[in-house]
Amino acid sequence: MGISLNQPSFASGELAPSLWARTDLARYQTGLRLCSNFFVMPYGGVKNRPGTVFLNSTKDNGVARLIPFEFNDEQTYVLEFGSLYMRVYKDGGIVEVSPGTPYEIATPYTAAQLFELNFTQSADVMTIVHPSHQPRNLSRLDHDDWTLATISFVPSISAPTGLGAAARSGGAGDTSNYGYVVTSVIDGEVIEESLPSTAATVASWDNKPGAVLTWTAAVGADYYNIYKDNTGSGIYGFIGRADTLTFTDVNIGAVKTDTPPNGNNPFVGAGNYPGAVGYYQQRLCFAGSNNNPQTVWMSKTGNFNNYGYATPVKDDDSITFTIASRQVQRYRHLLPLRQLLGLTTGGEWVIDGSDSGLTPKTVRAEIQSYNGSSKIPPIVINNSAIYIQSRANSVASLAYSFESDGFSGGDLTKYSPHFFRGYTLVDWTYQQIPDRLVWSARSDGALLGMTFLPEEELIAWHQHHTDGFVESVCSIAEGDEDALYMLVRRTISGTAKRYVERMASRRFDRMEDAYFVDCGLTYDGRNTSATAYLRLTGAPSWKYPELVTVTATGAAPFTLGSVGRTYRLRSGADIVRVQVTAYTSTTAVTAKLLEVCPESLRDIMVSDWALMAETLSGLGHLEGKTVSVLTDGDVHPQRQVIGGSISLEYASAVVHVGLPYAAELETLEVDFPGQETLLDKRKVIPGVTVFLEQSRNFWAGPKQGDKLYEQKADYRVTYDAPVSTVTGVSELKIQTVWGEAGRVYIQQPDPLPLTILALIPDVVVSGKG
């Protein structure tokens, strides 16, 4: 008698072999032995991942890194940084200056430096740093108008010139020397003050102290601040402001706690360029130069390029401090959360100030943990962060804990360490919508995924493979989803090529839009204009092979080359195909019915029509490769790309062509939690019940490498429509042989969707063998 064991969730993802006997763990009951090219959904089920769309080759097929740039919800970009250049991608395509010519700007970064770049962004300006280069700002003016310029760390407004000082009239007797300086001020959203002018001195009458000051205007100044030193100390204090080019000091007391700014550029010369950057409390923060690896520099409040200070210091002055640690800990990243986090090579620090804010007098740094961080930037998810530890082979979380009143975290790889032994991570990104996925490029070219919901304590790792080597990943918001871009090195005709590809959306309403091929392209002959119609007229009985007249309204789709081509017209579930036999004009042809024409398409204007294709070209990027093909929602026999093209067995309206890949899932050994173990018993799983969602046929067996059995698809509703997807229960017989193993293996080798919500194996148990 069989026993049904329900596995309603796969929320633990693929577990390491060292955990395959840990039936006492709760994660064992929701874990998998293998999860390849499937990803775990936030709800616990699994989906086979969608395929990738080929976009473009990198320049000269060279090494490159993908970096996101997001100005707002609609203006998002992926930047391809290669050796000494940058290109731009938007909405699934490369930005071009003319057809076939990508837009490109020069950069100073070599291929070896690309994955050491650190960056942060404010509006349409991205600040980029590297220890071997001066800090630079990347600015976007338009899709094809970008500038990369070194940052000038001096005020944008010049000091006034020609300052002169004269004693006030009417005085007599003894004199004392007074000194004055004047600064220019821009009164904008952020007040910016210039460096002080050259000082002017005057012999001021003791019985009528003060002076009359004049100066030459500074371009752009809204007003001027005046400072005085009447003690000979060399410290100038504020005495007033002027809207004109003159000021009279009538013995105003100088405020020596409000002094003019001093110029300061800490990033001059090789060895002084920072390697980390971030914003915090309206300050632009840099850290980690070669000469000062443990030092942080913070700009004046609201004045990001000004690292000046006054004497004595003011609360909004720039801040410079160095952490004190047991050993040198180079700053890798600056990350603003509840407080500013400084991730170093040896530990994780919190940088903050007093309750009133961060100032030069209140700044402090406290160590939180001693894990250390790699060069790969951390990822912020909700109110926590995840980061790759210093040896790049484990992932940790960092979140604020009220219990400890500090930041703490855990190892996110402890249940799947086999993914990281002997490997390192080289790049990663977070695709929040729709499935909360962290994607990581591993040193061997594999793509790792982690479904991560910290609030639900859901951590599920899965592996993904393609006919190639994933070198960089990047996610950016596009429409109502986050799009994943990948840079993949593939071998084509014996030559290494590097392609930028975009993972397709997993959402689709029609089977013909399901996309499950890699590095692919799509032929879509469907009409996209709501005002372009085709109409069939003139058939005696509307049966094959009668001739009809096809008339276009609102469009002129026909040419002499249309003869021999096939068109598809559709109304709801009704479809008819016609083959053009004679050309009349750009709006009329004669065609042969290829089947009985439904009444709903007879003498009716139809906007749902498509030009079908039998030969597909433009596939030179896959030359020589065997490709999978999905035609109008049905699997077509595989083809080899020859001369950049393939031929189909039949004309199709929507065709996806690309590299095949198989999605594989294998369960752990079945066992009863809390009861006598089944691990040492002989057993057989003759069948399995699978809960599916929007899925097509798949294969299943007792374990990887054994004979597989196909879950047959339902019969077609109509001849020309693809087989419908299944949502619900599917039962499949898979084996009759007794053995020690009690697992279920499922594979989807075809370019079709497969979503598994639960597995219920039918287990028959015997004694020990």
| Cα gap 334→213, rounded to integer Å | 45
Helix or strand or coil: residue 59?
Answer: helix
Question: Could you read off the pLDDT of 317-342 as tens digits, one per residue?
Answer: 899 999 987 788 899 999 998 889 99
Per-residue tokens: 497: 């090529």
CA–CA separation, 746 vs 293, rounded Å?
51
pLDDT band at 112 (very low <50, low <70, confident <90, very high): very high
Q: Tell me, what's the pLDDT at 274?
A: 97
| Residue 113 pLDDT > 90 | yes
> What's the rounded mean pLDDT across residues 591-598?
96
Q: Work out the average pLDDT over 619-628.
A: 98
Query: Mean pLDDT over residues 558-577, rounded?
Result: 95
0.75 surpassed by pTM: yes
pLDDT at 77: 97
User: First CA to last CA across the chain, in angstroms?
Assistant: 18
Q: Give pLDDT tens digits for 519-534.
A: 999 999 999 999 999 9
The pLDDT of residue 1 is above 70? no
Give the span between the Cα atoms of 450 and 460, in whole angstroms: 5
Q: Residue 455: is its pLDDT beyond 80?
A: yes
- Rounded-to-integer distance, Cα 607 and Cα 105, Å: 43
Q: What is the pLDDT of residue 190?
A: 76
Q: What is the pLDDT of residues 342-364, one digit of tens each?
A: 999 999 999 988 877 899 999 99
Say yes or no to pLDDT of 716 above 60. Answer: no
Mean pLDDT of 288-292: 96
Mean pLDDT to the nearest integer, 50-73: 95
Please determine, for residue 406, whether its predicted confidence score (pLDDT) is greater than 80.
Answer: no
Q: Given this model, what pLDDT does residue 727 score?
A: 92
pLDDT on residue 598: 95
Q: Is the pLDDT of residue 599 over 80?
A: yes
The first and second tokens of residue 695, run together, are 């899925």
Max avg pLDDT among 428-442, 695-709, 734-748: 428-442
Burial class of residue 148 in the structure, from the number of CB atoms within 10 Å of its CB (0-12 exposed, 13-18 middle, 19+ buried)? middle
Name the pLDDT band for 719 (thresholds 50, 70, 90): low
Residue 679: CB atoms within 10 A of its CB come to 14
What confidence category does residue 661 fall into, taking pLDDT thresholds of 50, 70 and 90?
A: very high
Q: Could you say which DSSP state residue 511 is in?
A: G
Residue 111 in tokens = 């291929």
H/E stretch holding 521: strand 518-524
Count of C-beta atoms within a 10 Å radius of residue 712: 10
Q: Topology of domain 3-50+666-765, per CATH?
A: Jelly Rolls (2.60.120)
Residue 717 pLDDT grade (very low, low, confident, very high; cuts 50, 70, 90)? low
Say what the pLDDT of residue 338 is: 83
**What would the mean pLDDT of 193-204 be, rounded to a whole number?**
94
What per-residue confidence (pLDDT) applies to 303? Answer: 85
Is omega for the bond preceding 545 within 30 degrees of 0, making it cis?
yes
- The answer to whether residue 6 scores a pLDDT higher than 70 is yes
Phi, psi at 207, each rounded to 5° = -90, -5
List, in sequence order, every beta strand (DSSP E) within 250-324.
276-280, 283-287, 295-298, 319-322
Q: What is the pLDDT averaged over residues 186-193?
A: 84
* Confidence (pLDDT) at 476: 96
In angstroms, the CA 521 to CA 586 distance is: 28
Would the pLDDT of 192 be above 90?
no
Element at 265 (helix H, strand E): none
Residue 28 to residue 24: CA distance in whole angstroms: 7
Total residue count of the chain as it appears in this document: 769
Q: What is the mean pLDDT of the chain?
A: 93
In which band, very low, low, confident or very high, does the pLDDT at 718 lie, cut at 50, 70 and 90? low
Among residues of the chain, what percentage have pLDDT more than 70? 98
pLDDT band at 391 (very low <50, low <70, confident <90, very high): confident
Task: Please name the amino acid found at residue 438.
Answer: V
Q: Which residues contact 395 (CB under 8 A, 6 or more apart)?
A: 386, 387, 388, 389, 411, 412, 413, 425, 450
**Torsion angle defined by CA atoms of residues 568, 571, 573 and 577, in that order, rounded to the nearest 10 degrees:** -20
Overall average pLDDT of the 550-572 stretch: 96
Could you give the C-alpha distances from 217 to 194, 241, 252, in angstroms and in order? 13, 14, 23
φ and ψ at 166, to 5 degrees?
-130, 145
CB 310 within 8 A of CB 353: no
Q: pLDDT tens across 376-390, in order?
A: 999 999 888 999 998
Q: Where are the domains of the chain?
A: 3-50+666-765, 63-150, 161-249, 289-509, 524-659
Residue 62 has pLDDT above 80, yes or no: yes
Q: For 69-106, what is the HEC assignment?
A: EECCCCCEEEEEEECCEEEEEECCEECEEECCEECEEE
Position 715 confidence tier, pLDDT thresholds 50, 70, 90: low
The per-residue pLDDT for 66 is: 98
Asked if the model's pLDDT at residue 405 lies above 80, the reply is no
- The mean pLDDT of 192-208, rounded to a whole number, is 94
